[in-house]
Amino acid sequence: MNIEVNGKLISCEKGEILLKVLEREGIKVPTLCAIKDLFPSGACRMCVVEVDGSRNLVPSCAFPVGEGMKIQTHSPKVVKARQAILELLLASHPDDCLFCARNNECTLQELAAEHGVRRRRFVKKELAPHLDNASPSVVRDQNKCILCGRCVRVCEEVMGVGAIDFAQRGSKSMVAPAFNDGLNTSNCVSCGQCIVACPTGAITEQDNLNEVMVALMDPTKYVVVQHAPAVSVTLGEFFGLKPGKDVDGHMVAALRRIGFKKVFDTSFTADLTVMEEGSEFVQRLTQNGVLPMMTSCSPAWINFVEEFYPEHIPNLSTCKSPQQMMGAVIKSYFANKEDISPEKIVSVSVMPCVAKKREASRSEMLGDSKLPDVDIVITTRELARLIKRMGIDFNSLQPEKSDLVLGERSSAGKLFGATGGVMEAALRSGHFLVTGKELNVLVFKEVRGLEGIKEATVKLGEVEVKVAVVSGLGNARKVLDEMKKGYRRYHFMEVMSCPGGCIAGGGQPYFTDPERVKARMASLYEIDKKEKLRLSHHNQYVQQLYSEFLGAPLGEKSHHLLHTHYSAKHDKK
């Protein structure tokens, strides 16, 4: 069928949503509430268009096309309506753009500029302070909320958590946790997907850059940093580079110029995780242990199980995440090797995930001396701000390599950044741990890609192992519920909290779309394809760490240092 848009005939399918048709034709229509692949809500009304013959403007995000329609997307009536919507939103919005974490990355700010809203027509009432910053990961500023509902929908429909919802009615409407309590006492799992979804600064991550700056300026402190596998294929987007561009060398050079004494690659302890987790899986498989074993790399997933599915805590691997393993090794092995007191070391990590901030603060992550494994966690976004704050011309830097005091990483460890990567790395080494033989083909296509639920049956010698790869906590809820009913049975499960894995984490760039995520994933696969060291158990530095310090995987020392335990959230209370 055909419709007419701005005087041009356009072909489309009957019943298609108008906004999708317009986007396909390259016609930009503003929106504040629409979320790709979710049923339209029509909450913000910014996407209104004029339909010939209609008495009113209609929201294009929730309006199906019909034969012969004549649409005006930017008529004077439409533009005036959008300006009025923006003016009303700004009438109850704080005037603190200069201090807002979303300054220059705010959709509301961008649309106000595009529509020429440069003065206030409506009297602004004084706003009472309403800042919820009790969570170690997420900050909520109710005064900046425009009630678009994006955070509510992502939390409920995508992540399956439902920690926030609309409350009260009319002019008192707000988005809040139950009873308007703090996020720290709610069932929030700190995934941070609400931060990425929010078009304003109503939800942001805890900013820990000042703590980093204070540590760097303290001459008595030895400040080191680690960077997660997903960061290097994302950071370049903040500096105008194409999505997926691997800027590992530039990032390391920047971290050194900022003042970090040592720069470590968390992919190294991803290899260490493979050795510990792989050995744990083989032990469970051969000694009638609790199955399926579930990975423990994603802290929001751990929070999710503790909150909603405590009966599955025994299924979780006891391994710490690669971030925490690196922190533990830095304050033990590295401190001994370099003759530095652990009390003087400030261990910073750069992560694509805001839940890592909460993970680092867990009491279970304190070492023997009651020092935290990791002292400060910053996100990819925070690192980009820090580089700019320090006046570093990122794109002109000469690439450098991470420090090898803790060793080189394999490309298997680098794959941890994408959904399916932990499973693929584990299967590569798991085959060797079970059979003593190497694989001829290292790529497991069945566990690659952006599908939310992937399954495969893999032969480890004579044993057939059923595995599952899940990304997005909403999909995890579906799988766990079906397991309870007996519809699904596995030996080994990888779960990543964020859809697509760490490359789409809550600490990554705002406005993350599927194409950007695909580009980041493709970059990780390309890195793996090109490198020679592609197996965690072939990492000589990991072997050296075991021979010099840890002993053996699952040994007394490695278990004490690299493993932990979890408990039901309500038991903790």
Sign of the four-CA dihedral 279, 285, 287, 288: positive
Residues contacting residue 374 through CB under 8 Å, at least 6 positions apart:
323, 324, 326, 327, 347, 348, 349, 356, 360, 365
Adjacency order of strands within the sheet including 8-11: 8-11, 2-5, 70-72, 48-51, 58-59
Tokens (6 digits) for 523? 């970059």
Distance of alpha carbon 375 from alpha carbon 427, whole angstroms: 32
Tell me the three state secondary structure of residue 24: helix
Distance of alpha carbon 516 from alpha carbon 400, whole angstroms: 25
Chain position carrying tokens 């599927």: 514
Catalytic residue among 297, 319, 353, 498: 297
- Partners of 467 in the β-ladder: 456, 492
Q: Give yes or no: 67 in active site.
A: no
User: Beta strand pairing status for 262-265 and 174-176?
Assistant: unpaired
Nearest CA to 498 out of 187, 150, 208, 155 is that of 155
Chain position carrying tokens 């779960």: 495
Distance of alpha carbon 343 from alpha carbon 353, whole angstroms: 26
46 burial class (0-12, 13-18, 19+ CB within 10 angstroms)?
buried
Tokens (6 digits) for 167? 């409350």
Catalytic residue among 100, 502, 523, 536: 502
Catalytic residue among 137, 190, 296, 317: 317
Tokens (6 digits) for 326? 């690196």
Catalytic residue among 205, 276, 280, 382: 280
Q: Mind giving me the DSSP string for 120-163?
A: --SPPPPPPP-EE--SSSEEEEGGG-----HHHHIIIIISS---
Q: Give yes or no: 364 in active site.
A: yes
Catalytic residue among 359, 382, 424, 494: 359
3-state secondary structure labels for all residues of 298-321? CHHHHHHHHHHCHHHHHHECCECC
Q: Give yes or no: 77 in active site.
A: no
Q: Give yes or no: 359 in active site.
A: yes
Q: Give yes or no: 502 in active site.
A: yes
For residue 250, what are the CA distances in angstroms to 388, 393, 403? 14, 10, 14
Distance of alpha carbon 42 from alpha carbon 518, whole angstroms: 28
Catalytic residue among 50, 205, 277, 382: 277
Catalytic residue among 262, 320, 356, 357: 356
Distance of alpha carbon 201 from alpha carbon 141, whole angstroms: 7
Catalytic residue among 364, 438, 531, 556: 364
What are the catalytic residues?
Answer: 277, 280, 297, 317, 356, 359, 364, 502
